[in-house]
Amino acid sequence: MVAMKKVEQGRISLDENINNKLTSWKLRDNEFTARKKVTLRNLLSHTAGTTVHGFPGYAVTEKVPTLQQVLDGAAPANTIAVRVDFEPGTQYRYSGGGITIAQLAIMDIEKKPYPEIAKLQEVSGTQPWKFKRRRDAEEAGRKVTIEHRFQRGSLRLPCTCKPISLAGNVPKSSTSQVLPFLSRTRAAGISIP
């Protein structure tokens, strides 16, 4: 929703080369981008041909890479580099790497961290959701609580990790953490794809 608000404001176009908006990092051109460049529309619709399905996160004891290190697959990142491996617009494949590039483009445009941009963003006069990261004094450095607030209530998911996603502080979670979260989500009447 933040990206579409920026399109509405004229800050970014759905159909221009995403590298025109990226200043802190560039998506490398290759044989797949020779005829058609990657656009925000491609990134948001998962048709950009970008790699890296998702990000596993980092243990509390592990060093957390910069966003640029993550996108380049450079140490201490624990995923491969995000690259284009098929012609943009020709196929659908979910890519967390592509969504991360879209978020970075918005951060480069606004010159602010993504959570700050999202917090300031008002969509249709309401904020149906927001992410809040809390660290209790006794849990500092050991446990992070991700609180998902929706119009119908809020849900908390405790995690012993350092979240990596700049947009939603998405943590590395075990099945024992995720299943109760999904159960509470369904009970609150919230559907997750």
**127-144 pLDDT tens trace:** 444 444 443 433 444 444
Is 26 within the bounds of a domain? Answer: yes
> What is the pTM assigned to this prediction?
0.66
* 103 shares its domain with 42: yes
Task: Find the CATH number of the domain harbouring 33.
Answer: 3.40.710.10
Is 22 within the bounds of a domain? Answer: yes
Least reliable range by pLDDT among 22-26, 173-177, 183-187: 173-177
**Identity of the amino acid at 18:** I
Mean residue pLDDT of the chain comes to: 75
The pairs formed by 16-19 with CB atoms below 8 angstroms and a separation of 24 or more are 16/40, 18/42, 18/43, 18/101, 18/102, 18/105
Q: What is the mean pLDDT of residues 89-101?
A: 94
Band the pLDDT of 121: cuts 50, 70, 90.
Answer: low
